[in-house]
Amino acid sequence: MRSMSNTFLLSIRVASLLWVSSILIIPPLAAQAEEPPMLLAQAKKKPAETGPTPIPLPKFYARHVEEGNKLLAQNRLQEALDEYFAARTINPDYYPTYVGLGKAYIKMGKMAQALDQYRTAVKLLNPAYGTDHIKRGDLLASKGNYKEALDEYWEVLRIDPQAGNQYSLALRHLRYNNDKDAIKALEAAIKMDEDYADPYFQLGNIYYKQNKLPKAIPAYQTAVKLDSKNATYNYFMGNALYKSSRAKKQVNMKEVKESIGYFENALKYGLRRSNIHFNLGTSYILSGDYDKAISNLQECLRMDLRDQEVYYNLGNAFYRRAMQIPFKWDGRSSLTDPQLLRQNDAKFDLLLKSVKSYQAAVAQDKKYAQVYFDMAVSYYRLSELKPTAQFIPKLLDKGTSKDYFSRGMRFFKADMSQKAIESMQQFVALSDNSKMKATANQIITDIKASVSGS
């Protein structure tokens, strides 16, 4: 850039505007996040209440199960089996007997027999709150994946049935938008079984929906703590933290960084959604890791999430990464230093990609004012650089790019500056922010002065 006073002033204004505009560049995740499960169903009238899962009062057959459990803890497996067999003979419908038998067979390495016992226990219990786990267990068992099937059944059997009944009641309330009674039922479930993760998760969902993040976050945290490998729990925990991080004027970077960890865990544990990559890309922009931001936002495009916000944030990530590359060129000298040439090419490539991403965003929404402002800044930064031969075919205007060599670099600088002016004028025409419009008009004046003084 020429070292003229008005150009220097422009550079300062552009830089300060970038900081001002950065407040606006990241859309809230709430628009991208999916509604929490179990909060979507609708109905016109309240269903009749159903009775709890029957839980037989302890009788003398239960004593055999208790004794079997003690022997099992001591690895006295055959003696434990004898106690369980005795309990089963007296009362074949007491589900804890089969839980004990299943555990004993697991310790003995007899997975198929253990599976039969767990399935019998689940069938006797017949819990509404364990439907998904039971279905997955049945599917895994049909494929011979005994260990995984046992894990699914155990997720049902380890829950206190009374707590499970309260959880089922809460889900019925949620289907009819009765949050107040759902919260009561979930809190009752937690009181009965404090190691039961699902009620905490649903409490988090209710509070998230109500925008009560100080209550949602601890509920999600407990759910994740109890079931750390649950991808959905991690995903919604990340959403809540990110939303909370932007609740005030100054972004809470601690919460942003924590949200990144939960989003990464959601991917790690098998959740495949484009929204996770969008959220991660957005969070990485805020945290300053632009390479990871670019990678995740490009993954959104590969997964067919191609709305204007993805393209806009990708443009922001490309631009910010470009501005991390140090380079200064006076607009006249040839580039002969190999290191400077590589830096120039890397910076030029990223800025060109940022412009193309912004163009894709406005193709989706031609009235998206802020995109035009940031696109103007990228054009201006391009005007400061020298396009080497590899970039000539990639430049945006195919009709004029071939002339850049023949007409000289002053033509390229003037061309990019004119595109910056046009984009800034489009911002002024669309924006309703009077302060930003005044700044944009001043930048237009400065760019024109810079071009005429070149």
Domain positions in the chain: 5-34+308-452
> Can you tell me the distance from the alpha carbon of 145 to that of 85, in angstroms, rounded to the nearest whole number?
27
Task: Tell me the pLDDT of the chain averaged across its residues.
Answer: 84
The residue with greater pLDDT, 164 or 407, is 164
Residue 271: its pLDDT value, please? 93
Mean pLDDT within 219-236: 96
Residue 375: its pLDDT value, please? 97
Residue 413: its pLDDT value, please? 82
Candidates 322, 399, 393; CA nearest to 357 is 322
The residue with greater pLDDT, 401 or 147, is 147
> Tokens 């208790």, residue?
66
- The answer to whether residues 128 and 161 touch, using CB atoms and an 8 Å cutoff, is no
Summarised one tens digit per residue, pLDDT across range 119-129 is 999 999 888 88
Whole-prediction pTM: 0.76
Measured between alpha carbons, how far is residue 144 from residues 111, 116, 169 in Å? Answer: 10, 12, 34
Confidence of residue 115 (pLDDT cuts 50, 70, 90): very high
> Tokens 């003398």, residue?
60
> Can you tell me the distance from the alpha carbon of 59 to that of 432, in angstroms, rounded to the nearest whole number?
75
Summarised one tens digit per residue, pLDDT across range 327-366 is 765 554 556 777 878 888 899 999 999 999 999 999 999 9
> Can you tell me the distance from the alpha carbon of 42 to that of 353, in angstroms, rounded to the nearest whole number?
45
Mean pLDDT within 396-401: 57
Mean pLDDT within 32-60: 46
Residue 178: its pLDDT value, please? 95
Residue 144: its pLDDT value, please? 92
Residue 400: its pLDDT value, please? 56
> Can you tell me the distance from the alpha carbon of 448 to that of 286, in angstroms, rounded to the nearest whole number?
32
Summarised one tens digit per residue, pLDDT across range 58-67 is 457 889 999 9
Residue 168: its pLDDT value, please? 92
Summarised one tens digit per residue, pLDDT across range 258-314 is 999 999 999 999 999 999 999 999 999 999 999 999 999 999 999 988 899 999 999
